[in-house]
Amino acid sequence: MSTRPRRRPRMRQSRLLRLLDRLEREPRADAVIDAVRKGMRALPLGDGRDVLHGRWLGHPVHPLMVQVPIGSWLSAAVLDLYPGRSREAGLLVGVGLASAVPAALAG
């Protein structure tokens, strides 16, 4: 019997994870993100900003609002697995897209 410790096999990182990691570390993306953030904050929303941020509720509404697009898209992905359900899946994708705009504005 050997007393040498066994080597654990190294887990290979998938190509997608490596690509996402490189994208996250890309310094040029920071300038684009900062420009979009400044543009969003410069929008003259007035009282609409307070409504979107949930001041009337006393709690941010963004976490609640993102459930609709995420749930719609996840449900559409499940329906795509069943033949003959492409119409329903397309409807759910549309609901997700329509609800993503107010959810993004609230965030």
pLDDT digits (tens, 9 = 90+) for 27-50: 887 888 788 778 777 777 677 777
Under a CB-based contact definition with an 8 Å cutoff, are residues 94 and 75 in contact? Answer: no
Under a CB-based contact definition with an 8 Å cutoff, are residues 76 and 93 in contact? Answer: yes
Top-confidence residue, 42 or 6: 42
Question: Which tokens is 78 given?
Answer: 């499940």
Under a CB-based contact definition with an 8 Å cutoff, are residues 49 and 55 in contact? Answer: no
pTM of the shown model: 0.54
pLDDT digits (tens, 9 = 90+) for 48-101: 777 777 777 888 888 888 999 999 999 999 998 888 888 899 999 999 999 998
Q: How far apart are CA 43 and CA 49, in angstroms?
A: 9
Residue whose token pair is 């996250």? 24
The number of residues making up the chain comes to 107
Sequence letter at residue 73: W
Question: Which tokens is 57 given?
Answer: 């509720």
* Cα three-residue angle 32-38-41, rounded to 5 degrees: 140
